[in-house]
Amino acid sequence: MMETVNMKINGMPITVPKNYTILQAAREAGFNIPTLCYLKEINEIGACRVCVVEVKGARSLVAACVYPVSEGLEVSTNSLKVQKSRRTTLELILSNHDRRCLSCSRSGECELQILCREYGVEVEHRFDGANPRVELDASTDYLVRDNNKCILCRRCVGACAAQTTGVIGVNDRGFDTNIGCAFNTELGNVPCVGCGQCIVNCPTGALQEKDDTTKVWDALQDESKYVIVHTAPSIRATLGECFKMPIGTNVKGKMVAALRRLGFDKVFDTDFGADLTIMEEANEFIERVQNGGKLPMITSCSPGWINYCEHYFPDMLDNLSTCKSPQQMTGAMIKTWYAEQNGLDPKDIVVVSIMPCTAKKYEIHRADQDAAGYPDIDIVLTTRELARMINRAHINFTDLPDEEFDPALGITTGAGAIFGATGGVMEAALRTAADWITGKDLSVIDYYTDVRGTDGIKTATYDIKDLTIKVGVASGLANAKELLNRVREGEHFDFIEIMCCPGGCVNGGGQPLQPSSIYNFTDLKTKRAKALYDEDKELPIRKSHKSPIIEKLYKEYLEKPGSHKAHELLHTSYSAKVKPVK
Ligand code: SF4
Ligand code: SF4
Ligand code: SF4
């Protein structure tokens, strides 16, 4: 039985588990204690002093995020002394802060700004720090660091360490303290994998994705361009959060309607590319199993993971599937097959991807990603950037009718839909591989469900005809590292799925921001993933190889999975990377 303690929060008696902190206990009693540096399991350092509370009998205020509960504890979370302390802390933070909220990308969602408003902090206030202006780090394709807005909370450092990349940390001391890479090296010159987990965990405007919305507005205005947009499976499960809709609302129809109103010539579903990836990947897997190829085969959809593998596990590059990601396959087919079918010159097509992921902005510049002789994808926007465009166009998102994707590349299958959740690629691949191995249209679809859920590592063994296939699924790079080390140590797996971000794309670095008051107490990954599994359940086609677009594509153009043409257009290669420190 769980040990508990009896205590009082703001005079209210409450019984809570003995291992709770005051922060957790207060939440159970119905009180939110504000936090800035605290991130559950990632940054529990009690440093920012915003969560201070009064404990009866204690000489000074204590940090609720790290202070343990005990029998008889009496806590005031909102006394005048507490309020005054929090206000002074905020004033001190602001004394060294670039307070230009009007032009800040985070304005309206900034946890610092919201707290300052709640505690009545004036912009012109009693303290004034040195306020030195420092240059932005915009050295990568995907991220901008503005340390003028950094509050030294170290949440980004914790997020990066949790990914086992650890490329950012605290530099210098005293007033010169700053967050960055060792020796103040630019981010573009260290083995950052581009996951963006530092961005989604930053409470202020100090970190954001590199904004590419201007490029899209320009393309939409250019009459010589045919602008096609496609949306990754997970976007429909998260975009609604940017418009204050409940977490886990599937907004597919409204998203399509909004994109059409923004002026895109065609609105396609990246599920098409996901299905195509399954065709090529399942075929590659069966070939490797039957012909003694390199096993385990490891999925290649997640560019942050590919980047990590190239930097940190170069001995496993031959294990990677050679398939391009669904984003790149979609672009490749738009600029070749679709262009030919519709009399379009690929040089006049601009393909815009809406992605959950900042690393996708880096992926489009990788070698080999130009099937038609032009980049497969021209511009990548995150979910947040799309919301920014919808807001700037003053589209009433929540009032929009549901609309369908354009037909040519707009069929959503259940297999494609679940790509956005950890385990989804594996499950989709097994649905197709099992049909092909047995030569039957197997009727039980929900069979490979052991790989669902947000556990960091999941394993399962399936018997398919005369084969026994052991699969592994890892999300988040710490889990990937653990699973790959098991492989290095000799544990046998046939097929492994790895997603760079914990929980998969639904929790990607380009997804909507949630304040720590939600992040620390809500299972975001499960709620968002549920929207995708619910969609899968409802769809008439749930296997990639049953999609009529996919059947037509192979019949008319690619011949068969793994054909010479498919290899030319849809596959890629990898190389070991160790970036020099300049
Ligand atoms: S980081 Fe927050 S407080 Fe600072 S300028 Fe941006 S919105 Fe304002
Ligand atoms: S993008 Fe990922 S790897 Fe790069 S600094 Fe941020 S958390 Fe670290
Ligand atoms: S960049 Fe953001 S998350 Fe990192 S220390 Fe600064 S404010 Fe905190």
Cβ–Cβ under 8 Å, residues 110 and 205:
yes
Mean pLDDT in consecutive groups of 10 residues from the start of the chain, 582 residues: 94 97 96 96 93 96 97 97 96 91 94 96 71 89 97 97 97 90 95 98 98 98 98 97 98 98 97 95 96 97 97 96 98 98 97 98 96 97 98 98 92 88 92 93 89 94 94 97 97 97 96 94 95 93 93 96 98 83 43
* Nearest residue to 129 (alpha-carbon basis) of 95, 174, 171: 95
Of 154, 202, 208, 516, the residue with max ligand 3 atoms within 8 A of its CB, to mutate for a pocket test, comes to: 202
Question: How is residue 257 written in tokens?
Answer: 């309607």
The residue type at 469: I
Which residues are CB-neighbours of 540 under 8 A, at least 6 positions away? none
For the stretch 130-182, pLDDT in tens is 677 899 999 999 999 999 999 999 999 999 999 999 999 999 988 889 999 99
Structure tokens at 458: 């999941």
Strands 74-76 and 143-145: unpaired
The per-residue DSSP string of 483-528 comes to: HHHHHHTT---SEEEEESSTTSGGG-TTSPP--HHHHTTS-HHHHH
Closest ligand 3 atom to residue 149 Cα is 7
Distances (CA, A) of 356 to 197, 202, 549: 11, 17, 24
- Asked if the bond preceding 540 is cis, omega within 30° of 0, the reply is no
Which run of H or E residues covers position 440?
A: none
Residue 544 alpha carbon to ligand 2 centre in Å? 33
- Residue-level pLDDT at 96: 87
Rounded to the nearest angstrom, the gap between the alpha carbon of residue 288 and the centroid of all alpha carbons in its chain is: 30
Query: How many CB atoms neighbour CB 192 within 10 A?
Result: 27
* Type of residue found at 203: P
Atom from ligand 2 closest to the CA of residue 196: 1
The residue whose CA has the least distance to atom 7 of ligand 3 is 150
Does the CB atom of residue 37 touch ligand 3 within 6 A? no
Alpha-carbon distance 83 to 119, whole Å? 7
Atom of ligand 1 nearest to the CA of 110: 2
Nearest ligand 1 atom to the CA of 205 is: 1
Determine if ligand 3 sits within 6 Å of the CB of residue 513. Answer: no
Query: Is any ligand 1 atom within 6 A of the Cβ of residue 153?
Result: no
Q: For 499, phi and psi rounded to 5 degrees?
A: -115, 135
Q: Is 203 in the pocket of ligand 1 (CB under 6 A)?
A: no
**Cα–ligand 1 centroid distance for 119 (angstroms):** 15
Confidence (pLDDT) at 444: 84
The residue behind tokens 């405007």 is: 205
Kindly list the strands in the beta sheet with 495-499, ordered across the sheet, starting from the edge strand earlier in the chain.
297-298, 495-499, 467-475, 457-464
SS3 of residue 206 by DSSP: coil
DSSP code at position 320: B
Residues 6+ apart with CB under 8 A from 141: 194, 210, 361, 362, 365
Tokens of 205: 């405007």
Please give the pLDDT value at position 581. Answer: 44
Q: Does any ligand 2 atom lie closer than 6 A to the CB of residue 193?
A: yes
Distance of CA 418 to the CA centre of its chain: 15
| Ligand 3 contact via 156 beta carbon (within 6 Å) | yes
Euclidean distance between CA atoms 206 and 197, whole angstroms = 13
